[in-house]
Amino acid sequence: MRSLAALTLLTPFAAAIWPLPSSYTSGDTVLWIDGGVQISYNAANNVGSIPVANALKEYAPVDPQLTTNPQSYPHSYWNKNRNSTAGHRPSQQIIQYAIQRTYDTILKKNFVPWKFHERNEDFEPPTEGKIYISHISLQQNAADPDNILTPRAGDVDESYSLTLTEDGEATIEAETSIGLVRGLTTFTQLFYKHSAGGAYTPFAPVEIEDEPKFPHRGLNMDTARNYFSVSDIKRTIDAMAYNKFNRLHWHITDAQSWPLEIPALPELAAKGAYRRDLTYTPGDFEEIQYFAAIQGVEVIVEIDMPGHTSSIWFSQPELIAAFNAQPDWNTYCAEPPCGSLKLNSTAVYDFLGTMWDDLLPRVRSSYFHTGGDEVNINTYLLDDTVRSNDTAVLQPLMQRFIDFNHDRVREAGLTPVVWEEMLLTWNLTLGDDVVIQTWQSDEAVAEVVAAGHKALVGNYNYWYLDCGKGQWIDFAPGFASQKYFPYNDYCSPRKNWRLMYSYDPLHGIPANSSHLVLGGECHIWAEQTDPINFDDMVWPRACAAAEVLWSGAKDENGQNRSQIEASPRLSEMRERLVARGVRAEPIQMPFCIMNGTQCSLAT
């Protein structure tokens, strides 16, 4: 039998928590955990208090429907007031689901960390004389804000502290239920599966203090170029929450398909989806927003307009200009099929009014994204309500279009989000409330905040996960083929996690404007990604963005974070994701991680 001292010598690493906490100390005492652990939840003023109990047995699963048949969901998770859920207090639902996830992750979806030890090393602790964690105390020090499920950036305090004593007492303290969720997520990352069965941590005692750097930490998922099922989206939300992401930007419609059912406009999805059954019903829409919200992930829905709307043509051709202009489509749009909502059409405004009346009350968020990227002015040469590509003619029409939509969004109690072009290319006058999502450059971020607007970052040279697969367009032999040979795509090469990790959202931003950078998003456009390759396109590279957004791009000494420090931790995060059913790709060979940092280069 091996002594703890020997174990220490052979354990050159601390728990590989991802994203990295603000401060963290650990020891080398082994503690075991099983389903007998008591979990208590005590909140300030007893709001949401759950009595001390065997929480794992009593509260897991929270709601059998969450884990069994998604089709049978009642559509009653939310009250009419978008702040609250039906039935229970949201705080209780949040905590109960988090406890269930903690149990499931530690005891059922864990992994044996052989890859992180030397070849043939006997690294596992002895299975005799086990000391078990007896109790996890969740302490919430303040009542949750009313909008805990639908916060604006900064409304919810996500900080937490975590202690685990050598004699098996765990305490997680936070101001909000979501802070406790983040703490429980970290807690699960202290544990491994033992090959003889059971789960243990070799790291007690543990002390962690943690809080996010940025309030907006997102992934943008495109469900229009390719369709993703509700379960694909839920798997992604779980993986996001596990990385402490808190915003799912749902780019739900685009030129190629309109999968979102709008009951007041039934033909939209019936004709505009790729196939009649490849849609999101109002029930799916509600369920996805709920499933995300109780994990502290707010869904921000985007209906991209006025470009990227060609799929409306399939039900209402009279609303769309330049539909599928061919063969010179690249004069009129960035990718086929071309098309834009007409810019000076009463019928378009009637359509939008009907859509907003139906959709906006069903949005469970504080935000709504109205798109606005890549509008090609030549489209309006073919728009019978305008017939011009003169920006002096188009700009006032675009202003009217945005004002109409943003007024409706605000009337529904939501804050508008737009792509950077609306401000930086079209020079529109946008309300102070509007959040501007940048994607083209770091200069764009600087310009947005210089104009006093709140900004989201996500420079495509760093944070576009779709890049590097090469072209999906086919080129005729001869000139076109030669011009594009060897068929790189617009943002080749692929963005390696190290490049993503090197991206600083505050690069070039004056200190007095940095508060306007709310955070950012990485993006998975789906031209060449469908459910078969989605997980390995996104994971674990998106984890690099998650850590930059949670922990910041600089370490505690103000230096750029080290790839050499991060890499083995990210490899471990990848193993966790795989254990949880996410098909994340490896970032190195086991050889590299089996003995420290053998695949690094100093000069």
Interface with ligand NAG (CB under 6 A): 81-83, 118, 145-147, 344, 378, 381, 385-386, 389, 391, 393, 395, 413, 426-427, 502, 504, 507, 510, 512-513, 560, 595-596
467 contacts 495 by C-beta, under 8 angstroms: yes
The structure tokens 């091996």 sit at 2
Give backbone dihedrals phi and psi of 421, rounded to 5 degrees, phi first: -60, -30
Q: Nearest 5 degrees, angle CA 186-CA 189-CA 190? A: 105
Task: Name the minimum Å distance from CB 565 to ligand NAG.
Answer: 14
Task: Name the minimum Å distance from CB 12 to ligand NAG.
Answer: 8
Q: Which is nearer to ligand NAG, 197 or 558 (CB)?
A: 558
Q: Which is nearer to ligand NAG, 34 or 155 (CB)?
A: 155
Q: Which is nearer to ligand NAG, 326 or 560 (CB)?
A: 560
Task: Name the minimum Å distance from CB 389 to ligand NAG.
Answer: 4
Q: Under the phi-then-psi rule, with left for phi > 0, alpha for psi from -120 to 50, and beta for the rest, what region is 346?
A: alpha
Q: Which is nearer to ligand NAG, 106 or 293 (CB)?
A: 293
CA nearest neighbour of 400 among 375, 422, 432, 378: 422
Q: Which is nearer to ligand NAG, 482 or 557 (CB)?
A: 557
Q: Which residue among 166, 211, 374, 585 is the active-site one? A: 374
41 contacts 140 by C-beta, under 8 angstroms: yes
104 contacts 242 by C-beta, under 8 angstroms: no
H helix intervals, 412-540: 421-424, 442-450, 460-463, 479-484, 497-501, 534-538
Q: Which is nearer to ligand NAG, 83 or 229 (CB)?
A: 83
ω into residue 51 within 30 of 0, thus cis?
no
Task: Name the minimum Å distance from CB 386 to ligand NAG.
Answer: 5
Residue 379, judged by CB atoms within 10 A of its CB (0-12, 13-18, 19+), counts as buried
CA nearest neighbour of 594 among 568, 569, 561, 564: 568
Task: Name the minimum Å distance from CB 413 to ligand NAG.
Answer: 5
Q: Which is nearer to ligand NAG, 167 or 390 (CB)?
A: 390
547 contacts 514 by C-beta, under 8 angstroms: no
Task: Name the minimum Å distance from CB 534 to ligand NAG.
Answer: 28
What's the CA gap between 42 and 173, in Å, rounded?
10
Q: What is the CA radius of gyration of the chain?
A: 25
H helix intervals, 243-369: 266-272, 282-293, 346-359
CA nearest neighbour of 155 among 356, 430, 365: 365
Q: Which is nearer to ligand NAG, 61 or 413 (CB)?
A: 413
One-letter identity of residue 269: A
Going from the C-alpha of 51 to that of each of 33, 473, 508, the distances in angstroms are 21, 60, 50
Task: Name the minimum Å distance from CB 343 to ligand NAG.
Answer: 8
- Give the 3-state secondary structure of residue 401: helix
Task: Name the minimum Å distance from CB 396 to ligand NAG.
Answer: 8
374 catalytic per annotation: yes
CA nearest neighbour of 572 among 600, 546, 540: 540
What's the CA gap between 273 and 287, in Å, rounded?
20
Task: Name the minimum Å distance from CB 118 to ligand NAG.
Answer: 6
Q: Which is nearer to ligand NAG, 58 or 118 (CB)?
A: 118
Give me the active site residues, please.
374
